[in-house]
């Protein structure tokens, strides 16, 4: 058991969340209420039955259930309600800044207009995230084609001011980063920030090609980098942040148990690692639950907590001034304890 002081420290410290799929924040209760509102029938009879189905063998077995859950999102208000619920929970966890992934293709493929998706998400960020900051990152689904990613980018460009970057998610193995080389090059020209999931289930080579071909600024997950010593040194030397999601890695069986997780090794290697929730409604907890479970499983200390809080803001896509403000909040918090 974690001592009470360290637990309170983890919960109370200011932090940024940089790896949260907003569709992965849909709690079963909200899935059922949106299904009722939109007259959609679900495969499970009750909230309890749905939650009971959340046992995954790997990434794909999770994605199948995650996309089914997202099918209840039809109207702008649905996207607003989902995002508002996440932001309230984030605030309760002392998240001062959130960079929120969304998967527009999951919705536009079902006939939902892109404008409804982005307007709902953006309105919630502006209305609910008033005493924190929040930005959106549009993710391309890597199991779809690059041509479809280009079409999505075209639909998104009228709303260019409402998102800060693009990412790459969904089924990793068999869909290497270089499949999206041209669309990422275009996004770079447009001045968008670039990130990609790599080295979650996929090999360290995917992390290298995400860096070399896609020119990403951060790697989402990236935990398999430690299989390659030269890559590990490169990530540390170039200060390429990793957005690590411990409970996700546990639930998707990237690590057998949390005590096997390599987060501490990543930090010891000098990598700018951060802790995030990925899909909190599916993986058993929001960001503070990820911190507490990881610190319970590994011999991490208050010094690591401070490093992780600092890393989260160092890795964020924030103006120099706002980054400095948040980093000072971290310093003040730790100076006061």
Count other C-beta atoms under 10 Å from residue 48's C-beta: 10
Pick between residue 120 and residue 202 the one whose CB is nearest to ligand ADE: 202
CB-closest chain residue to Zn ion? 278
Residue 54 is encoded by which pair of tokens? 């959340």
Distance CA 125, CA 15 (A): 17
- Residue from 27, 278, 297, 300 that binds Zn ion (CB under 5 A)? 278
Question: 59 touches which of ligand ADE, Zn ion, none (CB within 5 to 8 A by kind)?
Answer: ligand ADE
Structure tokens given for 323: 């980054």
Q: Which residues does the annotation mark as catalytic?
A: 200
Q: Does 248 bind ligand ADE (CB under 6 A)?
A: yes
DSSP class of 278: B
Contact call for residue 69 and ligand ADE (CB under 6 A): no
- Determine which residue in the list 152, 170, 209, 232 makes contact with ligand ADE, applying CB under 6 A: 170
Q: Report 185-204 residues binding ligand ADE (CB under 6 A).
A: 197, 200
Q: Applying CB under 6 A, does 24 fall inside the site for ligand ADE? A: yes
Residue 171 burial (C-beta neighbours within 10 Å; 0-12, 13-18, 19+): middle
Tell me whether residue 218 or residue 304 sits nearer to ligand ADE (CB atom): 218
Cβ-proximal residue to ligand ADE, closest one: 169
| Shortest Cβ 289–ligand ADE spacing (Å) | 16
Using CB under 6 A as the binding rule, the residues of this chain from 276 to 315 that contact ligand ADE are: 278-279
For residue 221, the minimal CB distance to ligand ADE (Å) is 7
Report, in Å, the least distance between residue 4 CB and Zn ion: 31
In the complex with ligand ADE, which residue's Cβ is closer, 14 or 167? 167
Dihedral sign, Cα of residue 121, residue 65, residue 286, residue 32: positive
From candidates 6, 30, 59, 219, binder to ligand ADE by CB under 6 A: 59
In the chain, the DSSP E strands lie at 15-21, 95-102, 133-141, 165-169, 193-198, 218-221, 242-244, 273-275
Q: Which stretch binds Zn ion (CB under 5 A): 79-87, 140-148, 277-285, 289-297?
A: 277-285
Distance CA 138, CA 21 (A): 10
Kindly give, in sequence order, each residue whose CB lies less than 8 Å from that of residue 194, ignoring residues fewer than 6 positions away.
Answer: 165, 166, 167, 184, 187, 188, 214, 215, 216, 217
Minimum Å gap between C-beta 112 and ligand ADE is 18
- Take residue 41 and report the two structure tokens written for it: 């029938």
Binding at 76: pick from Zn ion, ligand ADE, none (beta carbon under 5-8 Å per type): none
Per-position b or e across 234-271, b if 16+ CB within 10 A of its CB: bbbeeebbbbbbbbbbbbbebbeebeebbbbebbebeb
Footprint of ligand ADE on residues 100-159 (CB under 6 A)?
none
Give the footprint of Zn ion on this chain (CB under 5 A): 278
Give the footprint of ligand ADE on this chain (CB under 6 A): 21, 24, 59, 66, 169-170, 197, 200, 248, 278-279
């Amino acid at each position: 058991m974690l001592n009470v002081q360290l637990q309170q420290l983890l919960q109370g410290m200011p932090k940024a969340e940089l790896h949260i799929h907003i569709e992965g924040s849909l709690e079963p209760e909200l899935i059922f209420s949106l299904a009722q509102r939109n007259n959609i029938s679900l495969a499970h009879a009750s909230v309890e039955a749905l939650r009971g189905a959340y046992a995954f063998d790997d990434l794909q077995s999770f994605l199948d259930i995650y996309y089914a859950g997202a099918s209840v999102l039809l109207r702008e208000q649905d996207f607003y309600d989902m995002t508002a619920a996440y932001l309230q929970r984030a605030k309760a966890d002392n998240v001062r800044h959130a960079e929120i992934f969304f998967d527009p293709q999951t919705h536009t493929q079902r006939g939902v207009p892109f404008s409804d998706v982005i307007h709902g998400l953006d309105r919630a960020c502006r209305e609910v995230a008033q005493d924190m900051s929040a930005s959106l990152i549009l993710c391309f689904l890597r199991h779809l084609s690059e041509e479809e990613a280009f079409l999505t980018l075209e639909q998104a460009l009228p709303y260019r001011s409402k998102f800060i970057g693009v990412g790459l998610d969904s089924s990793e193995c068999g869909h290497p980063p270089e499949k999206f080389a041209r669309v990422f090059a275009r996004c770079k020209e447009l001045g968008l920030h670039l990130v990609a999931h790599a080295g979650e289930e996929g090999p360290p080579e995917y992390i290298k090609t995400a860096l070399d071909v896609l020119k990403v600024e951060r790697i989402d997950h990236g935990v398999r980098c430690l299989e390659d010593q030269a890559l590990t040194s490169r990530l540390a030397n170039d200060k390429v942040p990793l957005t690590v999601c411990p409970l996700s890695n546990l639930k998707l069986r990237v690590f057998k148990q949390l005590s096997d997780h390599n987060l501490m090794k990543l930090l010891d290697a000098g990598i700018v690692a951060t802790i995030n929730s990925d899909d909190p409604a599916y993986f058993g907890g929001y960001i503070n639950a990820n911190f507490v479970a990881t610190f319970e499983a590994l011999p991490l200390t208050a010094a690591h907590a401070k490093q992780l809080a600092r890393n989260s803001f160092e890795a964020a896509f924030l103006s120099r001034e706002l980054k400095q403000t948040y980093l000072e909040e971290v310093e003040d918090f730790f100076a006061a304890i």
